[in-house]
Amino acid sequence: MTIFSKIIAGEIPSYKVAEDGSNYAFLDINPIAKGHVLAVPKMETDYLFALDDERLSDLILFSKRVAVAIEKAVPCKRIGVAVVGLEVPHAHIHLIPVHDIYDIDFNRPKLKLTSDEMKEIAGKIADFFV
């Protein structure tokens, strides 16, 4: 079971922002920007491009709905999208509010946000998710 499956199952806490029948979205624990979200399919699959067409389309359409909510909740120019997958072997899409290209640099020092700040951001995004 991956760490993300444990999060989805509620065995490990997360700052959830959205969920539907097949996907789950929550704040990245080491955000590179305020409102940095991971969108994850509930079915455990290591590599994003190993998902079958239906599940991949479903995840992307879910990510679009989450991105619209993030844009409303967090001041930014737009939502940058990244797929890395080198750390956690469970497909996921990074959704990152950006003002310029440097905001999507994974080598930047991670933001240190308090639990209250994380809760507040997650709550705002969740409120805008439809």
Say whether residue 87 binds ligand 5GP (CB under 6 A): yes
Cα–Cα distance between 23 and 122 in angstroms, integer?
A: 16
Say whether residue 29 binds ligand 5GP (CB under 6 A): yes
Say whether residue 26 binds ligand 5GP (CB under 6 A): yes
Q: In the set 43, 88, 98, 111, which binds ligand 5GP (CB under 6 A)?
A: 88
Binding residue count for ligand 5GP, defined by CB under 6 A: 13
Cα–Cα distance between 98 and 104 in angstroms, integer?
A: 7
Structure tokens at 112: 């240190």
94 is catalytic: no
Secondary-structure breakdown of the chain: helix, strand, coil percentages, each rounded to the nearest 5: 35, 20, 45
Nearer to ligand 5GP, 46 or 127 (CB): 46
Catalytic residues: 92
